[in-house]
Amino acid sequence: MSANTTPVWFITGCSTGLGRALATAVLERGWKAAVTARDPRTVADVVSGHEDRALALALDVTDGAQIAAAVKAATAALGPIDVLVNNAGHGYLAALEEGEEHQVRALFDTNVFGLVDVTRAVLPGMREQRSGHIVNISSLGGLAAFGATGYYHATKFAVEGLSESLAAEVGPLGINVTIVEPGAFRTNWSGPSMRQSATRIEDYEATAGARRKSTLDTYGHQPGDPERAAAAIMAAVDAENPPLRLLLGKVALDVALARLDSLRTNFTTWRDVTLSADYPDHD
């Protein structure tokens, strides 16, 4: 983090879940926070009692004018932003063929372009300070993909790639990037926040259909604790050498390690065919 002993955090999507838990923990720690939500009334209680160093702000990350206004208001009231947490996001259940264009575009607008637009609004201030930390909430689903959530995975794989490039670009300017990859956490993600296609194709019931159900069934008894996730994210940001990636929860660790094994097996099994594609005389 910056040398600033009372860093300024700017967090998106704080009405519920991980964003709310993180904003609460940051303020309990004595740090400053712009606590943003589409409806700022939903975060009034988070800010309450911390009005000297916290601000509730209206922010729909798909609204460019609101992004500019929120970043400006946060900086004016709290000082330069030290830590940006791009947390706002939602899921969408549909087999690829069942996907509805308006829902898919809305998903990318929030999970990818919203994150990009908020980041672009905050970066000039961080570059000027030559310090800062951008925390992008991706998902285990940004590393491994399953049926019924292909469009969601596509947004989180996009977040992974963008974040990795960003890290290479802003690292030399003193700005850290951390990609957070939670497994299943007990938030509204698989419950009230989840969207799904009205279109259902019978041929996918045994695959995507079954996984739609199992995803919805996790609601209320996911193993991940948002408060512990908040503590883990703060520890990563506070670390002398912050990680580029932070998996959260045992499910995330197990699935990510299995994914690495399966990638290695795939690549090494096909090694000879892979190598046959180069010009023979090229080093």
Q: Which is nearer to ligand NAP, 17 or 132 (CB)?
A: 17
Contact 8, 36 (CB under 8 A): no
Name the active-site residue from 2, 156, 190, 204.
156
Q: Which is nearer to ligand NAP, 67 or 126 (CB)?
A: 67
Closest-by-Cβ residue to ligand NAP is 17
For 175, the 3-state DSSP assignment is: strand
Name the active-site residue from 92, 151, 152, 204.
152
- Containing H/E element for 196? strand 195-196
Min dist CB 35 to ligand NAP, Å, is 10
Active site annotation includes 72: no
Rounded CA gap, 10 and 6, in Å? 13
Active site annotation includes 151: no
Q: Which is nearer to ligand NAP, 7 or 91 (CB)?
A: 91
Contact 177, 136 (CB under 8 A): yes
Min dist CB 180 to ligand NAP, Å, is 8
Rounded CA gap, 36 and 42, in Å? 9
Name the active-site residue from 131, 138, 190, 197.
138
Active site annotation includes 152: yes
Rounded CA gap, 233 and 138, in Å? 13
Min dist CB 161 to ligand NAP, Å, is 16
Q: Output b/e per residue, 31-60; b: 16+ Cβ within 10 A.
A: bbbbbbbbebeebeebbeebeebbbbbbbb
Q: Which residues of the shown chain bind ligand NAP in the complex (CB under 6 A)?
A: 12-19, 37-39, 59-62, 87-90, 110, 114, 137, 139, 182, 184-185, 187-189, 193, 222
Residues annotated catalytic, as ranges = 138, 152, 156
